[in-house]
Amino acid sequence: MKRLARWQDAVLGALGVLGLLIAWEAVTRSGLVNPVIFPGPAKAIAVAFARVPLRDLWEHISTSFLRILWGFGIGAGLGILTGTTSGWYRTLGALTRPVIELVRPIPPLAWIPMAIIWFGLGEPSKVFVIFLGAFFPVVTNTYKGMGGVDPILLRAAQTMGLSGPRLLLRVAIPAAMPDIATGIRVGWGLSFGVLVAAELIAAESGMGFMIMHARQSGEIGVIIFGIILIGAMNLVTDYCIGEVIRRKLGRWHAA
């Protein structure tokens, strides 16, 4: 019964996507809109592959991906470290929380000028902006998770003789894992969200550069292809992260 429902959902979903693509193609062929400015899906992809050689495309993708990996990696790592320690040690928390809460509402993109001033026009400034996108969701969710650890768990572990860093590593952090996982997924999404803007900073490659460059040369098909590509990469990687989290955490946390 449940399986049937899932199949039905998949078929209906595919129908919905197909319907949208057909409608899009039909509108562009009907002459209601100028196909140069608003190309259909088939033409957009054809133009993209004609104008952007596969080797360049691969370079754009890998450059962007590497930037995201660096920015997100540093952001999530520091976020988890700051979140767990400031959630565990009360004095440290009292010191760091107000600073983080004060800086957090500043949108990552608003840092771009300072990123350029501090790091120049090269890779570090782009990585820094992506880092900001990942760091704040991870740190706030981790902190929240640390605060929500059931005191009974901690006390039970203490009666069994655990204390200090081992209590933190073996009980508190695993218990806070679901919140940390939430932070990681939000942070990953935001990393993609700021990527394009980060690549507006004097970039020479990357998917964000590819679509901004295509605007100047008027290749709308490349822009549309790029938008879909960035979205698809975000979707696929987010799904993979979600799967990993589900498998690792599913053992003791029912979804």
Partner 1 sequence: MKRSGETSTEGGARWPRLLGAAFLVTLLLLWQVASLAALLKPFYFPPPSRLAVAFWELTWEGFPEGVRIGTHMLVTLGRIAQGYLLAVGVAIPLGIVIGWLPILDSLTLPIITFARSVATLSLLPLVIVWFGVGELAKVLLIAYGCFWVMLTNVIAGVKYIDPLLIRAARTLDTSPIGIFIRVVLPAALPRVFAGMRIALGVGFMVIVGAEMIGTIQGLGALIMEARTFYRSDISVVGMVAIGLFGFGISAGLEQLERILLPWHRGLELVRR
180: Cβ–Cβ under 8 A, 6 or more apart, which residues?
80, 83, 138, 141, 142, 145, 173
Residue pair 67/195 in contact by the 8 Å Cβ criterion: yes
Angle of helix 54-88 relative to helix 220-249, nearest 10 degrees?
40
Q: Is 23 in the site for partner 1 (CB under 8 A)?
A: no
Whole-number minimum distance, CB 142 to partner 1, in Å?
A: 13
Stretch that binds partner 1, among 24-32, 52-60, 68-76, 211-219 (CB under 8 A): 211-219
Residue of 28, 128, 208, 245 interacting with partner 1 (CB under 8 A): 208
Site map (CB under 8 A) of partner 1, residues 84-113, x = contact: ---xxxxxxxxx-xxx--xxxxxxxxxxxx
Distance, CA of 84 to chain centre: 21
Residue range at the interface with partner 1 (CB under 8 A); choices 24-32, 49-57, 73-81, 141-149: 141-149
Q: Residue 63 and residue 122: Cα distance in Å, rounded?
A: 13
User: 64 CB contacts (<8 Å, ≥6 apart)?
Assistant: 195, 199, 206, 207, 208, 230
Q: How far is the CB of 38 from partner 1 (least distance, A)?
A: 8
Whole-angstrom distance, CA of residue 66 vs CA of residue 236: 16
Closest CB 10 distance from partner 1, rounded Å? 9
196 binds partner 1 (CB under 8 A): yes
Of the candidate residues 16, 53, 122, 250, the single one contacting partner 1 (CB under 8 A): 16
Within positions 47 to 86, which residues make up the interface with partner 1, using CB under 8 A? none
Query: Which range of residues in 23-31, 46-54, 185-193, 245-253 is near partner 1 by CB under 8 A?
Result: 185-193
